[in-house]
Amino acid sequence: MPQIIAVQVSDPLAVDVSAELVDGPIAEVTNSKAEENEWKVVTGALTNQERISIPVVDHLRGKVISLFHDKPESGHFGALQTTELVSWDFYWPAMDLHVHKDVRGSRVCHRIKPPRHAGHRINMPLETQSRRWEGIIIGLCH
């Protein structure tokens, strides 16, 4: 948490939102009543809908994702489940894209999870034709 608060001080989004929270009501920035209470500062950290806002720092976001994905007891959930778990407590724009990228690149998942596609079959050689034009093969691509 101290790392997040320290980085939020220099994050452009956090600085803009914090300035609006201090200077005036959020209603001036947003157009609907539902958005009025989205942003708050809780124990020194900027939150969005009661979820801690993570600044644009890849290693910090990676740590947050690994908290929910890399635990042995969690069983290395897939991207959707990991995104859901992360989004309960944390927020950043385009979170689902970052989580999908990190989960797709997980070395442990590639090593321990079985493939979900059908196994590759052995290639069979084509018969050679004895006469010209005896067999014609056309390959159509979509």
Which of 30-39, 45-54, 65-74, 119-128 has the highest mean predicted lDDT (pLDDT)?
45-54
Q: Are 47 and 37 in contact (CB under 8 A)?
A: no
Query: Which one-letter amino acid corresponds to residue 9?
Result: V
Query: Which one-letter amino acid corresponds to residue 111?
Result: R
| Tokens standing for residue 68 | 């929910």
User: CB 125: neighbour CB atoms within 10 A?
Assistant: 5
Question: What percent of the chain shows pLDDT beyond 90?
Answer: 5
* Residue 30 pLDDT > 70: no
Helix (H, G, I), strand (E, B) or coil at 130: coil
* Residue 105 pLDDT > 80: yes
What pLDDT does 11 receive?
81
Query: Which one-letter amino acid corresponds to residue 76?
Result: H
Question: What percent of the chain shows pLDDT beyond 70?
Answer: 82
Give the DSSP letter of residue 31: S
Statement: the pTM of the whole predicted model exceeds 0.75: no
Span 45-90, pLDDT tens digits: 888 888 988 888 888 888 888 888 887 776 778 888 889 989 999 9
What pLDDT does 74 receive?
66
Stated length of the chain: 142
Compute the mean pLDDT over every residue in the chain, rounded to the nearest whole number.
Answer: 78
Overall average pLDDT of the 29-46 stretch = 65
Q: In Å, how far are 29, 79, 120 from 33, measured between CA atoms? A: 11, 32, 56
Q: Where are the domains of the chain?
A: 1-54, 57-115
What pLDDT does 127 receive?
77
